[in-house]
Chains A and B, each alone.
Chain A
Amino acid sequence: MKNKTAKITIFCVCIILGFFFALQLKSVRINAKETSQPARIEELSQLLIEEKEKNEILNKQLEQYAQDVDKFRDQAQQSGGYASVLAEQLERADLLAGNTAVHGPGITVTLKDSVSVNTSGMDENAYVVHDSDLLRVINELRASGAEAISLNGERVLATSEIRCAGPTVSINNTRYAAPFVIKAIGDPDTMEQSLMMRSGIVSELENFQIEVTVVKSQDITVEASRQNLTFTYAVPVKEAEE
Chain B
Amino acid sequence: MYIVFGVLAGALIGIFAPITIPTEYSPYAAIAILGALDSFFGGVNAMLRNKFQLRIFLSGFFGNALIACILTFIGRQLDLDLFLATVVVFGTRLFQNFADMRRFLLTNGKKTYKIRSKESKDSIKD
Residues on A facing B (Cβ under 8 Å): 2-3, 5-7, 9-28, 30-31, 34-35
Which chain B residues lie closer than 8 Å to A9 at the CB level? 43, 52, 54, 57-58
Indicate whether A17 sits within 8 Å of B15 (C-beta atoms), given known contacts A10-B44, A24-B33. Answer: no
- Cα separation A158 to B51 with both chains bound (whole Å): 92
Indicate whether A5 sits within 8 Å of B52 (C-beta atoms), given known contacts A15-B6, A23-B19, A26-B20. Answer: yes
Chain B residue with minimal CB distance to A20?
A: B33
Whether A19 lies near B47 (C-beta < 8 A) is no
Which chain A residues lie closer than 8 Å to B47 at the CB level? 3, 6-7, 10
Could you list 23 examples of A-B contacts with CB < 8 Å? Answer: A6-B57, A7-B2, A9-B52, A11-B3, A12-B6, A13-B6, A13-B40, A14-B2, A14-B7, A14-B10, A15-B9, A17-B33, A17-B40, A18-B8, A19-B14, A20-B10, A20-B14, A20-B33, A20-B36, A24-B21, A24-B30, A31-B22, A31-B23
Whether A17 lies near B10 (C-beta < 8 A) is yes
Whether A23 lies near B17 (C-beta < 8 A) is yes
**CB of B94 within 8 Å of the partner chain:** no
Indicate whether A21 sits within 8 Å of B43 (C-beta atoms), given known contacts A7-B2, A13-B36. Answer: no
Q: Given B13, B53, B54, which contacts A15 in the complex, CB threshold below 8 Å?
A: B13
Whether A22 lies near B19 (C-beta < 8 A) is no
Which chain B residues lie closer than 8 Å to A20 at the CB level? 10, 14, 29, 32-33, 36
Indicate whether A2 sits within 8 Å of B13 (C-beta atoms), given known contacts A21-B33, A35-B23. Answer: no
Whether A21 lies near B20 (C-beta < 8 A) is no
The minimal Cβ–Cβ distance linking A15 to chain B, given in whole angstroms, is 4
Whether B10 lies near A16 (C-beta < 8 A) is yes
- Cα separation A25 to B54 with both chains bound (whole Å): 29
Q: Given B7, B57, B58, which contacts A18 in the complex, CB threshold below 8 Å?
A: B7
Chain B interface extent, by class: 35 or more
Chain B residue with minimal CB distance to A13?
A: B40
The minimal Cβ–Cβ distance linking A181 to chain B, given in whole angstroms, is 50
- Cα separation A9 to B46 with both chains bound (whole Å): 12
Q: Given A7, A21, A34, which contacts B11 in the complex, CB threshold below 8 Å?
A: A21
Q: Given A2, A18, A27, which contacts B10 in the complex, CB threshold below 8 Å?
A: A18
Residues on B facing A (Cβ under 8 Å): 2-3, 5-15, 17, 19-23, 26, 29-30, 32-33, 36-37, 40, 43-44, 46-47, 50-54, 57-58, 61
Which chain B residues lie closer than 8 Å to A34 at the CB level? 23
The minimal Cβ–Cβ distance linking B47 to chain A, given in whole angstroms, is 4
Q: Given B9, B26, B43, B44, which contacts A24 in the complex, CB threshold below 8 Å?
A: B26
The minimal Cβ–Cβ distance linking B24 to chain A, given in whole angstroms, is 10
- Cα separation A44 to B30 with both chains bound (whole Å): 33
Which chain B residues lie closer than 8 Å to A19 at the CB level? 10-11, 13-14, 17
Which chain A residues lie closer than 8 Å to B15 at the CB level? 22, 26
Which chain A residues lie closer than 8 Å to B12 at the CB level? 18, 22
Whether B50 lies near A2 (C-beta < 8 A) is yes
The minimal Cβ–Cβ distance linking B104 to chain A, given in whole angstroms, is 15
